[in-house]
Amino acid sequence: MVKQQELSQTKAKAANLQRPLIPPPQEEAPSNQWKQHHVYLAHYGRPDGQIWSAKVGRVLEGYVDPDGYYRITIDGKQVQRSRFNLALSLGRAIREGFDCDHIVPVSRGGGDAWSNLQELTKEAHRRKTAADNPDAGTKRGITMGICIIARHTGNGVGLRFDSVKAVERELGISHGVIDRSLKGATITGDYVFSYTPEHLAEQADLPGEIWREAVSRLGLLPNIKASDRGRIQDSRRRRSYGCDKHGYKVFGAVIDKKRDLKVHDVIARTFLEPPPSSEHTPDHINGDPSDNRAENLRWATDTEQGRNQKSNRRVVQLDLITGEQLAIFDSIAAAAETVGISACTITNVAGGRALTARGFAWRFDAAIEQLRALAPRSEVLDAVGAPAMGAKVPLPFPMYSLDKVKPGNGALAKWAGRNAGPFVLSDKLDGVSALVVWRRNPGQKQWKVSMFSRGNGVEGTDLTHLSHLLPKKLRILPKAPKADLFAVRGELIVPKADFQPELASDARSLVSGLVNRRNLDDAAMKKLALVHFVAYEVVFPNLPKQDQLKLLTSCGLEIVPARVEEAVSDSILEAYYSQRLSLSKFAIDGIVVDSGSAHALPTSGNPTYAVAFKKELEQQGGDTTVLEVVWEASKDSKLIPQVRYEPVNVGGVILKVATGINARFIEAQGIGPGARIHVIRSGSVIPKITRVIEAVAPQMPPVEFVWDANRVHAIVLGDDEGVVCKRIVKFFVELGIENIKENLVRRFYENGMTTLASYLEADEAKLLTMPGVNLTLASKLVNNIQAGIKGADPVKLLTASNCFGTGVGPVRLAAALKAFPDLLERDMGRREEVLSDLRGLDGFSSITAERMVVGFIAFSAFMAEHPQIVLGVPDEEIEQEQEEGLLGMVAVFTGFREPVWEKAIFAAGGRVTTSVSSQTTIVVVKDLEVKESGKESKARSLGIRVVDAPTFAEEFGFE
């Protein structure tokens, strides 16, 4: 078990090292060059104290802990920056019994330059601390200190210092003299010292303030008091606090050891009644994490706090210079997550305690009424009620996809016969589709811009917060149409020349990640500068295609290349597509063919006036050399191959891995290390091996296996760890039991929980012995498991048991139980009788019936091994109206699964299959904007209807 654990850790480390790393930029000054850390190999430091992460490609931004030390997150661990830098400058770890010391003490969160760090024994470090400031008693008193003012007795000029130690260092006055002056002694030198007004205010009691002995989750806190106004006091003075990375105020306290405690948690435990249960934690009623008054705290579960967070303290993000509203957030937490700063920082700005945060001004919604009185024409007032940044909103104009046509099946000729020429051919850009809408009030020149992603064509994501980061062409229209509304559809895309493989797997993924990202840090904004908006359609006003392109050009927008053809055919489009693949500035995945005439937007479904021509071409593939064949066992013990090869650039996408299909394919084709293969992006999406140029000895599975009956798949022998873990995960997923993922199961497996029974029997005490599990998670897991296995739906449980293998899924199981409700109670010893009944069902062959009987026998043993499971009753029948709509349906779902829909289809007499055939009546995709899958492509070639999930749900009455 130890060896397996070490192997897993080694693989995990290797996987991390294989990710694309972004090294730090080279500095011009030799004295300030980056140096790689000897332990954290993906991290670099330089003499001025900054730290670069090659994993994220930027300088790390950390936070200041309650003791004043700057901390950063490296590989999931909180690391003190000064210790990281000292070890890096020494080229080794800090020795045991030694500590990191700042030669000249710095202010709270100050720099950690190598020249100011030294290695001292812990005793020497303690003595130096005491000698530097004997009255402070702890390092905290020196590093954080108390802000004071030194006023010159001659000219009256006052200087502000962060601490007594800073005064000693800058003015050369001893600590004793400063301390006597602070206590009101007679002036004996050139300066008189006093506390800052904010410190004096902090030490004074507030009107009606109540102080009590402080209580934490660990019990009473010695020498510490808590106030009902949300303040903390130790034996010396009222405390100031740090903020953790989530915006909560924290302070340090010594109990059994030094701990960082959250202020609001201590206030709640001191002044509120005890929590109702272990799942209840303190919650800020108004959503402001800096407001720790006892009256603003309550006990709430995670779910209750989530609802509260969304509904509290809406904040407005404003341009610092113009005052223009950029976005409205439903909560402080949402704003903090999106912009990448702490909630505490935004709160301070919105509350008037600071001016800016990350270059923006911020205001609470409560300030709107005051703004209305001061500036009733402010645009901020028009934005009240606007959707939050990144929110899903109804699109102002529908953004449907295009039907795809491929050569050889006559689809293009049929379409051209229904549409008059001339035809406009343009590149089908391989980016992220976006809609930009300009509006202005009648008689005004100033345009107001909004931006949206396509989403499902009817509902998209509000991207308006990104418009100010893109070129000015998206914000101003120097030669706009005379109307007060102008809508343009285009593509957010990165030029092929600007894309670098270390930025993302491909240019499209880079853009998609940016527009969906909620944390726009400096690195993300630099990447966003690479993104172009390329316009290809005027949505409003309604114009012929050629006039659209002329108008877009006159407005100064970058437009898609296009040409006009009097007639179109497969050969013309194939030649033009091949040419554009080579010449296009951007990645493309087809040619758009437009009828060219003016046309109204469709109210539903894809437009009939344009199609997308697609074909797999030689340019979409490349030759490469196989590095290895990696085998992974499925839940059914099949060994599935993946072929990894030397990276090959295909259409701007770096391909590294392709499916090996199955063991027979690997063996028959001679695929192993050194084999030369040709790979293409099948459908411009999926890497696929089309031929083997030079075969070698096949790399078969490294574990003991046998062939299946058809000699197609290799079946692993024995209790493979991967198989066991996947089956455990499948069980919980099928039953809808949350919080149990494969990484958690693998971690538990390595620590002794190797069977499903071990999960069903586990209590909180058992789970707390597992690594990474706290009391909250343990309680959730136990509650979720026990709730999920009591009264489990029979079909779900039969599927989750994995007793039936391939070929017998939930649809057939539901059909059998519907026809024979007593099937689970039947004696499977009367085999022929059961087989006869099952063979009589529509669509059940003798093989299927045999597999099902074997499965029911195995299921009986499964239930005997797991007595904790209690069978429930089947779900209620579907409504009559819905049943009529689904009657006779043969559906294929691609890109997602929806068990409730599948069950309803079967209950109405329909079927759900995994492959498209001439019998299929409908194909349902998760999102029509996602690249066309093989199933979708085949459905269109057969003339089968293709819809997205929201359309299917609405049409057939699913919620």
More confident of the two residues 509 and 920: 920
Q: Give pLDDT, residue 528.
A: 82
- Arithmetic mean of pLDDT, 710-732: 85
Percent of the chain with pLDDT over 70: 77
Q: Please write the tens of the pLDDT for every residue from 420-441.
A: 889 999 999 988 899 988 887 7
Cβ atoms of 423 and 546 within 8 Å: the answer is no
Lowest average pLDDT, out of 134-143, 253-262, 658-667, goes to 134-143
Q: Residue 470 above 90 pLDDT?
A: no
More confident of the two residues 392 and 735: 735
Q: Give pLDDT, residue 157.
A: 72
Q: What angle do CA 706, 666, 660 make, to 5 degrees?
A: 105
Cα end-to-end distance, the chain, whole Å: 47
Q: Is the peptide bond before 602 cis (omega within 30 degrees of 0)?
A: no
pLDDT band at 462 (very low <50, low <70, confident <90, very high): confident
- At 40, the amino acid letter reads Y
Looking at the DSSP assignment, which residues form a beta bridge with residue 489? 435, 537
Tell me which of 404, 428, 726, 903 is the catalytic residue. 428
pLDDT band at 624 (very low <50, low <70, confident <90, very high): very high
- Arithmetic mean of pLDDT, 50-75: 78
More confident of the two residues 720 and 930: 720
Q: Residue 325 above 70 pLDDT?
A: no
Q: Residue 244 above 60 pLDDT?
A: yes
Task: Tell me the residue length of the chain.
Answer: 959
Q: Is 19 exposed, middle or buried (0-12, 13-18, 19+ CB in 10 A)?
A: exposed
b/e string for 233-242 if b means 16 or more Cβ within 10 A?
Answer: bbeeebbbbb
Q: Residue 521 above 80 pLDDT?
A: no
CA dihedral 286, 290, 295, 298 (to 10 degrees): 70
- DSSP code, position 294: G
Tokens of 333: 């937490």
Q: Please write the tens of the pLDDT for every residue from 554-567.
A: 888 889 999 999 99
Q: Give pLDDT, residue 67.
A: 60
Q: What angle do CA 765, 767, 769 make, to 5 degrees?
A: 80
Residue 930 neighbours by CB under 8 Å, 6+ apart: 895
Q: Give pLDDT, residue 950.
A: 79
More confident of the two residues 233 and 731: 731
Overall pTM surpassing 0.75 (yes/no): no
pLDDT band at 594 (very low <50, low <70, confident <90, very high): very high
Q: Residue 373 above 50 pLDDT?
A: no
User: How far, rounded to the nearest angstrom, does the alpha carbon of residue 404 sit from its chain's CA centroid?
Assistant: 31
- Arithmetic mean of pLDDT, 355-384: 52
Strand pairing report for 890-894 and 922-925:
parallel
Lowest average pLDDT, out of 133-137, 504-508, 620-624, 884-888, goes to 133-137
- Arithmetic mean of pLDDT, 285-301: 82
Domains (range + CATH), the chain: 2-140 (3.90.75.20), 150-202 (no CATH), 206-310 (3.90.75.20), 313-387 (1.10.10.10), 403-613 (3.30.470.30), 618-716 (2.40.50.140), 721-871 (no CATH), 880-955 (3.40.50.10190)
Q: Is 732 exposed, middle or buried (0-12, 13-18, 19+ CB in 10 A)?
A: buried
- Arithmetic mean of pLDDT, 244-271: 76
Angle between helices 164-171 and 175-182 (to 10 degrees): 120
- Arithmetic mean of pLDDT, 274-279: 84
Count of beta carbons in the 10 Å neighbourhood of residue 660: 23
Cβ atoms of 81 and 72 within 8 Å: the answer is yes
Phi, psi of 892 (to 5 degrees): -125, 125
Q: Give pLDDT, residue 670.
A: 93
Q: Is the peptide bond before 541 cis (omega within 30 degrees of 0)?
A: yes
Look at residues 291, 511, 570, 537 and name the one whose alpha carbon lies nearest to residue 399.
537
Catalytic (active site) residue 635: no
Phi, psi of 199 (to 5 degrees): -70, -40
More confident of the two residues 347 and 710: 710
* Residues 928, 415: Cα–Cα separation, whole Å: 20
Q: Please write the tens of the pLDDT for every residue from 766-822.
A: 888 888 888 888 888 888 888 888 888 888 888 888 888 777 777 788 888 888 888
* Residues 98, 121: Cα–Cα separation, whole Å: 4
Lowest average pLDDT, out of 53-67, 229-243, 825-839, goes to 229-243
* Residues 78, 72: Cα–Cα separation, whole Å: 6
- Arithmetic mean of pLDDT, 448-477: 73
Q: What is the mean pLDDT of the chain?
A: 77
CA dihedral 155, 159, 165, 166 (to 10 degrees): -120
User: How far, rounded to the nearest angstrom, does the alpha carbon of residue 18 sit from its chain's CA centroid?
Assistant: 21
b/e string for 436-465 if b means 16 or more Cβ within 10 A?
Answer: bbbebeeeeeebbbbbbbbbbbbebbbbbb
* Residues 579, 617: Cα–Cα separation, whole Å: 11
Q: Please write the tens of the pLDDT for every residue from 89-145.
A: 888 888 887 888 887 776 555 568 888 888 888 777 777 776 655 444 333 333 345
Q: Give pLDDT, residue 84.
A: 92
User: Tokens 């009473």 — which residue?
Assistant: 220
Tokens of 129: 């601390």
Give one DSSP letter per residue of 135-165, joined into a string. Answer: TT-SHHHHHT---EEEEETTT--EEEESSHH
Mean pLDDT comparison of 127-141, 314-328, 440-454, highest-scoring range: 440-454
- At 345, the amino acid letter reads T
Break the chain down into helix, strand, coil percent, rounded to 5.
35, 25, 40
Reported in sequence order, the residue ranges of 615-685 that DSSP labels E, i.e. its strands, are 621-633, 638-650, 653-659, 676-682
Looking at the DSSP assignment, which residues form a beta bridge with residue 249? 243
Cβ atoms of 81 and 49 within 8 Å: the answer is yes
Q: Residue 489 above 90 pLDDT?
A: yes
Lowest average pLDDT, out of 126-130, 462-466, 752-756, 863-867, goes to 126-130
